[in-house]
Amino acid sequence: MGLKPDHRRRFFRTFRDGYLVLRFRNWEIQKVVHFHGYSPVSRLRSLDLPRSLVVRRVVALDNRVEIEVGLRKRSAVCPDCQCPTQRIHSFYQRKLADLPWQSRPATLIVSVPRFFCQTMLCPRRTFVMPLEGITVRHGRQTTRLADLHYYIAHTLGGSAGARMTVRLCCPISADTLVRRLLSRVQNTTKGTALTRVVGVDDWAWRRGHHYGTIVVDLEKNDVIDLLPDRDADTLARWLQVHPGIEIIARDRAGTYADGCRRGAPSALQVTDRWHLLKNLSDAFVSILDRFTTTVRTLTRQMNVSTVVSKISETIRAHPEEAQAVVRSASGERRDILFKEALALKAAGHSIQAIATTIGVERKTVRRWFQRGHAPPWKRTVPSRSILVPYTAHLEKRWSEGCRNSRQLWRELLEQGFAGQYGTVWKWVATRQRCSAKPVPSAHVVAPRGRRLARLLLAEDPLSAGQEGLLVPALLEAEPHLAVTLCWLRKMQTLLCKRGDTCTGGDLKALLEEGKTTLLSRLIPALERDAAAIEASLVTPWTTSPVEGQISRLKMIKRTMFGRAGFELLRARVLQPA
């Protein structure tokens, strides 16, 4: 160690007494640290340094720890001629930031040898031994500290990650964290050679304005890549760069169908059944607006025996006057926008261009054109309580004098009630507060939109109370709606089947039958996508894992307060390398 004999004796005597000499100056001990029961050798092993390094000296300062190390290996290979050599030219020191030790930043001072190349014909005279496994070329920190910073940046991002590194005693700026995260992701290619099944879906940068595409490995439930848009050309180029994909699960968007067809023509496309059911449901809800007058008439007939106020009777008897009273300034503005949209449509503009011009969402403009008018403002009807089928029993027991909510809950459980005790308790509490008030007579409100669709598609509409009585009357008054509802239930049954019991013939027959229903406009699009629909009936692949990854993407996006660009968002969504 370069000590005189007397100093060497003092040094090892100090080791024997349980002390570690950390620094000498003028051959005198400057600082001594006691390890409280731990031997110095075991304490040095706790540094967990690579085996290629030899600890020569540990210097503990007030705000940091310096560890002087050397290399065990005394030979190297010339990078040009690949000839080994042991002839050392000189040494130089490299300072590398390392993981903190005992809540203090640590620095490795590595003594790196420079070798002579002994091959006469080699153009390189000297070269430096590379620090493989310790740091990268021109690096100023160890590999394990760089990995720690990368995982912190991947998990927390820039600003939050920088605050965490301060607490971990390895401080680094937020910009440097983000820069190293991006460089690590750009230099790492996600392995897709073994990827067979992928799921593709869109995610919103800003809902209704700008969307991107996410690609997920359905076998590993791992995000493979993010694409900055949802264009067919972008998806086709990505699939061409990543060959070997055999199955692609997607929604029914024509953009993705076109991109998959051009980018991977041999791959099997699978339509997600949930998206298909949602498309059928949306189309069914849109055609129910045609029967609004019939529904109101039938509802009015059901309410003839109900005691209602004169104001309600006037409104139902004169719907035009009621609409004029309810219409507000926003309704008038909506009518003006609808007239502008009609003028732009007559001029040959697309729906997207019309929506951009008048400042309305594209889906709203399409719905206006389908209905032929701007729909009036309507008040949302609250959802039906799960206690409605058991109201008669509760009223009977209440009239008998039973006020024990837990007893009533036990009786409902015997009748098949699936709700919690709190639901019955709230009903009892409400009745006790309103016991002095007369119970108003039942009054059925004309259901519209999705509420009416749920009544029609329910297995037992009569379980919905008086609203359920509207279903048979409506189907009897509108036979075309009854035919459409029957076909829709057949499609729902077919799409909910699993396994080999489903055949392409069943789907083809149903699509042919659907041409005679009110949803006939949807049939050509389903026929174009028939192969993907058939594949969804016999394969287990769906885009459900993709939806889960989209939820994770939204969470990461919101933790960065919407300030992250595409590259940073992509780096954090992809799994750590």
Taking a C-beta distance cutoff of 8 angstroms, is the pair 129, 112 a contact? Answer: yes
Taking a C-beta distance cutoff of 8 angstroms, is the pair 532, 257 a contact? Answer: yes
How far apart, in whole angstroms, are the C-alpha atoms of residue 112 and residue 176? 27
Q: Is the dihedral of CA 454, 457, 460, 461 positive or negative?
A: positive
How far apart, in whole angstroms, are the C-alpha atoms of residue 556 and residue 277? 29
3-state secondary structure 171-226: CCCHHHHHHHHHHHHHCCCCCCCCCCEEEEEEEEEECCCEEEEEEEECCCCEEEEE
Nearest to 389 by CA among 320, 461, 457: 461
How far apart, in whole angstroms, are the C-alpha atoms of residue 373 and residue 367? 9
The CA dihedral of 330, 379, 485, 455, to the nearest 10 degrees, is 170
3-state secondary structure at position 495? helix
Quote the pLDDT of residue 547.
92
How far apart, in whole angstroms, are the C-alpha atoms of residue 329 and residue 335? 10
Measured CA to CA in angstroms, residue 12 lies from 21, 59, 61 at distances of 9, 17, 22
- pLDDT (tens place) for every residue of the chain, 577 residues total: 455 555 444 444 444 344 344 443 333 333 434 333 334 444 455 467 778 888 888 888 888 888 888 888 888 999 888 889 988 898 989 999 999 988 889 999 999 999 999 888 888 899 888 888 888 888 899 999 999 999 999 889 888 999 999 999 899 999 999 998 888 877 665 656 678 999 999 999 888 888 999 999 999 888 999 999 989 999 999 999 888 889 999 988 888 899 999 999 999 999 988 889 998 998 999 888 888 888 888 888 776 544 344 334 443 444 444 444 444 545 667 777 888 888 888 888 888 888 888 878 888 888 888 877 666 655 555 566 788 888 888 888 888 888 888 888 888 888 888 888 888 898 888 888 766 444 444 566 778 888 888 888 887 766 666 677 788 888 888 888 889 888 988 888 888 876 555 566 778 888 888 888 888 888 888 888 888 888 888 888 988 999 999 999 999 989 888 788 888 888 888 877 5
What is the pairing mode between strands 65-71 and 53-60? antiparallel
Ordered DSSP codes for 139-171: -SB-HHHHHHHHHHHHHH-SHHHHHHHHHTT--
How far apart, in whole angstroms, are the C-alpha atoms of residue 259 and residue 272? 16
Quote the pLDDT of residue 31.
41
Ordered DSSP codes for 245-292: --EEEE-S-HHHHHHHHHH-TTSEEEE-HHHHHHHHHHHHHHHHGGGH
How far apart, in whole angstroms, are the C-alpha atoms of residue 131 and residue 143? 10
Taking a C-beta distance cutoff of 8 angstroms, is the pair 49, 133 a contact? Answer: no
How far apart, in whole angstroms, are the C-alpha atoms of residue 101 and residue 43? 11
Q: Enumerate residues 6+ apart whose C-beta is below 8 A from 412.
A: 390, 393, 394, 419, 424
Nearest to 533 by CA among 503, 500, 493: 503
How far apart, in whole angstroms, are the C-alpha atoms of residue 308 and residue 442? 10
Quote the pLDDT of residue 323.
45
Quote the pLDDT of residue 212.
92
